[in-house]
Amino acid sequence: MAMAAPGQLNVNESPSWGSRSVDCFEKLEQIGEGTYGQVYMAREIKTGEIVALKKIRMDNEREGFPITAIREIKILKKLHHENVINLKEIVTSPDGNKYKGGIYMVFEYMDHDLTGLADRPGMRFTVPQIKLLTGLHYCHVNQVLHRDIKGVLLLMPSKDTCSNLLIDNEGNLKLADFGLARSFSNEHNANLTNRVITLWYRPPELLLGTTRYGPAVDMWSVGCIFAELLHGKPIFPGKDEPEQLNKIFELCGAPDEVNWPGVSKTPWYNQFKPTRPMKRRLREVFRHFDRHALELLEKMLTLDPAQKGQDKLWICTCCLCRFFLVGNMSRSNLQANTATLAGICIFHNSLKHSIWLPSADSSHIILYAL
């Protein structure tokens, strides 16, 4: 497991990095649209290697070179992990003036995204889920919040909201689309924008206008996806921001100064505060879930981000890694097969200073001390 220190560099950069032309590649077909540009499957002419070329869209001249692209390049150059998409290089298109033409990011080619795969009957979620967490954990260790982890299951409404979790034919999963990602420091004094993360997976603190947030925002998204996997459909499919908050309150209860100290001081609280009392109904609605799964969900879908506190965040991650490693999991026996989690919970204290992560081939797990 590569555990890079924060700020570790890309040491394998070749001298030609960033100076080659897109003519070194032969475009084969368009395979999708990312946050800000088309994606093509292409072959590197010299080596025959298949890659994905993402064209950076530069329609908005006023903005100049898009900030999302700058951020994505900055962050991907910092992250090197088997579960984070690898930015191989940046190439320019020479048509006409060199600097007027297109700019392409060259990625390793991935065969699927999770949206398509999840429809398959008997789909096994084991590997992808673990990988998502190791990739995410790695991002957090390197001080990057992904901020746009999107759902993997059903009914994704339009093309541009499709999943940013990619899988190759060997079942390796990678986090992609870092256009909204940014670095964070734990001091929490930096103000960040609150209009991030696809609506359904956006945590309440962002919906209430907070601009100081940390890794807990990604954990909420993972919690939503976790519940979605067990439930079979998205749990908070809001149409707009008020409806989104309402759906969250209906399930998780209305926030008040008791369960979330400080909530009344969030910028949009008065505008969005619930008009009637609402009780937390998580346990009732998801009573068919395995009780250990429910415990875990309770922790991840805690309203107050501070209570998803740092220790708990780690425990959640650890448990979830373990959770998905137990047995051979189709969706039905996923629920039945979680007894070992109980054992894990006993070790909460010993887990404080360590994390379980799967080996590269996912055949066993390794305890990393921190």
Partner 1 sequence: YLIKDNHHGSEHLLDFSVQSDETVLGLVGREKENLPQDGYLKRLLSGDLDLSVRKEALDWIWKAHAYFDFGPCSLCLSVNYLDRFLSVYELPRGKSWSMQLLAVACLSIAAKMEEIKVPPCVDLQFAFEAKDIQRMELLVLSTLRWKMQASTPFSFLDYFLRKITCDQVIVKSSILRS
Q: Which is nearer to partner 1, 20 or 124 (CB)?
A: 20
Nearer to partner 1, 143 or 340 (CB): 143
How far apart, in whole angstroms, are the C-alpha atoms of residue 308 and residue 316?
9
CB-nearer residue toward partner 1: 87 or 301: 87
- Does position 369 bind partner 1 by CB under 8 A? yes
Among 12, 97, 158, 270, binds partner 1 (CB under 8 A): 97
Binding positions for partner 1, 77-96, rule CB under 8 A: 77-78, 90, 92
- Nearest 5°: the CA angle 214, 220, 223 is 145
Instruction: Note if 168 is an active site residue.
Output: no
Paired with 103 in beta bridges are: 92
Q: Does the annotation place 312 within a ligand binding site? A: no
Using CA atoms, how far apart are residues 99 and 243, in angstroms rounded to an integer?
Answer: 45
Query: Rounded to an integer, what distance in angstroms lies between the CA atom of residue 245 and that of residue 236?
Result: 9
Stretch of 30-38, 180-188, 251-259, 330-338 lying at the interface with partner 1 (CB under 8 A): 180-188
Q: Quick one: 107 or 286, whose CB is closer to partner 1?
A: 107
Interface residue with partner 1 among 37, 128, 215, 223 (CB under 8 A) is 215
Q: Which is nearer to partner 1, 3 or 285 (CB)?
A: 3
Nearest approach, Cβ of residue 142 and partner 1 (Å): 7
Query: Does residue 187 bind partner 1 (CB under 8 A)?
Result: yes
Binding mask 54-73 for partner 1 (x = CB under 8 A): ----x-xxxxxx-x--xx-x
Instruction: Give least dist CB 369 to partner 1, A.
Output: 5
> Choosing from 148, 177, 218, 290, which is the catalytic residue?
148
- With contacts defined by CB under 8 A, name the span among 124-132, 191-199, 288-296, 326-334 that binds partner 1: 191-199
- Closest among 321, 149, 151 to 219, alpha carbons compared: 149
Residues that bind partner 1 (CB under 8 A): 3, 5-9, 17-19, 58, 60-65, 67, 70-71, 73-74, 77-78, 90, 92, 97-100, 103, 140-143, 185-187, 190-193, 214-215, 310-311, 313-314, 352-353, 366-370
Q: Which residues are part of the catalytic machinery?
A: 148
